[in-house]
Structure 1
């Protein structure tokens, strides 16, 4: 049978309230020897506080829920790191839910997190959305959406970046540096981020005299990047492959190498996200640096502020940085 709070109190010779204050580290009015005695009994008896019961009493669990599409994607791995680091510093624990871009799995996890009475939820939505189902959900804890747009009601903050403007600028700079034929290797058509990056690229080339433009779409993965470029018979007709993210870009590079196509002298490649795992790859990938770690950091800070009665912005946009490296032939004006 599990040890209860009153059992600890009886063994230590103190009140239940004293044991509770020791557990919650509110010991300013308790003598040092008493605190040590209670802590010793707690350790010896193997007492573990009932978080669920405590949350019912205090209306706080000090637990946050985090939903991401894929832990395999380094972009989201960095977000997780930012969330966990900041949550620990602020006294929260984190429950990580990996949805694998499955909306049904996402909603099932949300229901579970509600049942566990978490203090807040951070969600990077799956590819496919269901506006009707999402709008039917009601949240009584802070909900932070990151990176991808969702339709849930009562979102406290949407933490995002300007994918459209960055993509537009990439296309403009490439054109200014002599690129005229463009192959766009995009992410899923239903994904809000993929849509903005594609539309931004098209906007950057609008009314410009380009010779060729082709777009194909797949999942944000090395496998799809490789497959889509490998089966493209006339890929050498293009000056540059603009990729929806670094995973697609690395898949494209792998396919180009198998075709014995020199990068960047025969064709250039541009990615998006600046994933750390590719930092030592040669040639160094031209890409967009994403503030993924900061997304995680700020999502926890926003929840903490909301729980403490502070107002937060409905939309929080973090800056990106364009990095023209060795997979493109671009000279930027100083």
Structure 2
């Protein structure tokens, strides 16, 4: 395979002259010199090393996307939307599943940066971005998805997220408005910014109605390691079974996402309980499955397409230096989508009512 030095030898010029022709820096070059270089390139069939050029020019038109796990269709849909938005701006996307593991995220980010990828969207919603600080000092540009960037500006260049606390409030207000007083919360370990926000929102909605969220009804994975992103349906199934088996079970639950909610459907069926007759269920995200399960799932919608496009555009503006005056941290508004999985609570004082 021909090298840049082979081209220089055949054209009778220096390697730096060949580089100038390849990178369009030939305004002051004699036309005959440029022509010799181009003939040598064609004669040798020389193809420039794209990666080397990217490192020199800083114009690698590829971004990274690191998601928890595409086992949850929400993250697969995000990857699709990010790719569409990036393609429209002339960029490619490399994406990785890191299961919210800071060490794995760091390894992926180091690999991407070493490959010339300078901008990465992280969607793990961590409580801290400290594990990436050494990479941002080396030039990595971090965009946060599903996590507000405020408070982490030294690491996060831009961010987009819904107001997770508002989303939790919307779910709680809906259930309280239907008459529910015993409300549970089902999640994997509550150690991400988004999960904390959703739980706090539910707690605030209940407090406003003079109610208290019973700590015994906050179920978070029963000691599972990691974050439960790949096991969502099974954890939802286990969680609702455990809550319904309590001496004073909830009449409604809010789940951390739709996959947990769909798993909760199976858990209710295991006990012979009906939805929403015995227990109302509210999900979070509004994935495509939410509208087609039976009963159709009441859920809090994230405007995914708009959020993905905003994240990509914000990241590319930073990479291209065109972000002056742009708001770096964008908060989108969640929307409650009411379907058939929620209803007023059944009167449990009647001997024939309640979960069996």
Q: What TM-score do the two structures reach when normalised by structure 1?
A: 0.81
Deviations 1:126-173 (A, max 9, x none): 657574x44444342432111035757342112111110121122122
Alpha-carbon RMSD: 3.4
Shift of 1:287: 0.1
Task: Give the gaps of 5 or more residues in structure 1.
Answer: 23-29
SS at match of 1:260: coil
Whole-angstrom CA distance in 2 between matches of 1:271 and 1:65: 29
Structure 1 residue 206: deviation in Å?
Answer: 0.5
Paired residue for 2:108?
109
2:340 pairs with 1:326? yes
1:309 paired with 2:307, answer no
- Say if 2:250 is the partner of 1:247: no
Tell me whether 197-206 or 83-92 shows the greater mean CA deviation: 83-92
Deviation sequence 1:155-206 (CA, Å, 0-9, x none):
2112111110121122122212211221221332211111111111011000
What 5-or-longer segments of structure 2 have no aligned partner? 12-16, 25-30, 222-227, 345-356
- Cα distance in 1 for partners of 2:234, 2:127 equals 20
Match of 2:14 in 1: none
Question: How many positions carry a matched residue from both structures?
Answer: 314
* Alpha carbons of structure 1 residues 207 and 145: separation in structure 2 relative to 1, 3 Å: closer
Please list every run of at least 4 consecutive aligned residues from structure 1 whose deviation after the TM superposition is greater than 6 angstroms: 6-12
Q: 1:299 to 1:10 in 2, by over 3 A?
A: farther
Partner of 2:83: 84
1:189 corresponds to: 190
Q: CA distance change for structure 1 residues 262 and 114 in 2, over 3 Å: closer, same or farther?
A: same
5 Å-filtered alignment, 1:290-305, equals: 290-305=302-317
TM-score by length of 2: 0.77
Given candidates 223, 227, 233, the residue that maps to 1:222 is 233
How many angstroms apart in 2 are the aligned matches of 1:211 and 1:145? Answer: 32
The answer on whether the counterparts of 1:83 and 1:297 sit within 8 Å (CA) in structure 2 is: yes
State whether residues 127 and 193 of structure 2, in contact with CA within 8 Å, keep that contact through their aligned partners in structure 1. no
Residues 115 and 267 (structure 1), Cα distance of their counterparts in 2 relative to 1, 3 Å cut: same
2:59 equivalent in structure 1: 60
> Contact 1:144–1:303 (CA<8 Å) still a contact in 2?
yes
- d(CA) in 2 for partners of 1:235 and 1:159? 41
Which shows bigger deviation, 160-169 or 147-156? 147-156
In the alignment, is the contact (CA less than 8 A) between 1:182 and 1:241 conserved in 2?
A: yes
Distance 1:168 1:278, change over 3 A: closer
Distance 1:49 1:259 in 2: 65
Structure 2 vs 1, CA of residues 126 and 237 (structure 1 numbering), >3 Å: closer, same or farther? closer
Between the aligned partners of 1:163 and 1:127, the Cα distance in structure 2 is 14
Q: Please give the residue correspondences for 1:128-147 in structure 2 after superposition, counting only pairs within 5 Å.
A: 129=128, 131=130, 133-139=131-137, 140-147=139-146
Partners of 2:125 and 2:193 within 8 A in 1: no
CA distance in 2, matches of 1:108, 1:183: 37
- Tell me the residue number matched to 1:69: 68
Indicate how the Cα distance of structure 1 residues 99 and 121 shifts in structure 2: closer, same or farther if over 3 A, else same: same
Kindly provide the CA deviation profile for residues 216-260 of structure 1, in whole angstroms up to 9, marking residues without a partner as x.
Answer: 112341111111222341388422111111111111111111222
